[in-house]
Amino acid sequence: MAHSASNAQQAIITDGIQDILANNRQWVATKNAEDPEFFKRLATGQQPRYLFIGCSDSRVPASGITGTGPGEMFVHRNIANMVVHTDLNLLSVLQYAVEVLGVQDILVVGHYGCGGVAAAAANKQYGLIDNWLVNIRDVVRLHEAELLGVKDEPQRLRRLVELNVIEQVRNLAKTNIIQNAMRGDKPPRLHGLVYDIADGVLKDLQVDDSTALRGLAHIYGTEVKPLVAAPRVPEPPTTEEESSHYKGPQQDPSQVEAAAATA
């Protein structure tokens, strides 16, 4: 009886991913028909042009809304497309994308109807995620006067979505990863975009690396401190030096000669 129940449970689990597996096989067949070398080429490595920092919302597929394919976009997603300076996950992705992959464009992509933004705007507790939402509430604090001036609540939330994207682009510009990259030969470009789920259109908020820290560089700008060579530590004596019994002159040679003459 227990064995039968186990088999039934396994069947349910397997059935739950059958569509995924079938879709994968169909996708592979389609790609191979279009380009027999497609997967061999992908297997040699990646050199994406874009880093996409977006929301985890299932309605906002990174490749789908940007028209990019495998190998073209490096992707990081979290609740409400946040750039948090204590988030080692985000920072690791950012450093790898910029310093190893050499991405050319970094996109922070928010979306209207974001549940994380709406939750941050409400005076309610939701559990563990409240610690994450504090970062969005900081955006509310920074732009409170503007937001209070928007009387229509849906429009106020839409504007908060936009302001959140703008602040996350600024947070990118505050990192030493981006600041150091901006001093290089091929500095990445920063962009803030908002996706409208209702019509599928991406909106450019016109915030980029040239405007992200306008008026704030004296606070957030940093310079690389030159490395100072450490003082040289004397090397330990060799075995040969340690075994030598010669200690050098023990007294003035002229005194030795005088003593010999007297004797």
Catalytic positions: 55, 57, 59, 111, 114
SS3 state at 228: coil
For residue 65, report the phi and psi dihedrals to the nearest 5 degrees: -80, -10
Using DSSP's 3-state secondary structure scheme, residue 108 falls into strand
Q: What angle do CA 14, 18, 19 make, to 5 degrees?
A: 150
Residue 188 is classified by DSSP as P
CB 103 within 8 A of CB 97: yes
Separation CA 95–CA 97 (nearest Å): 5
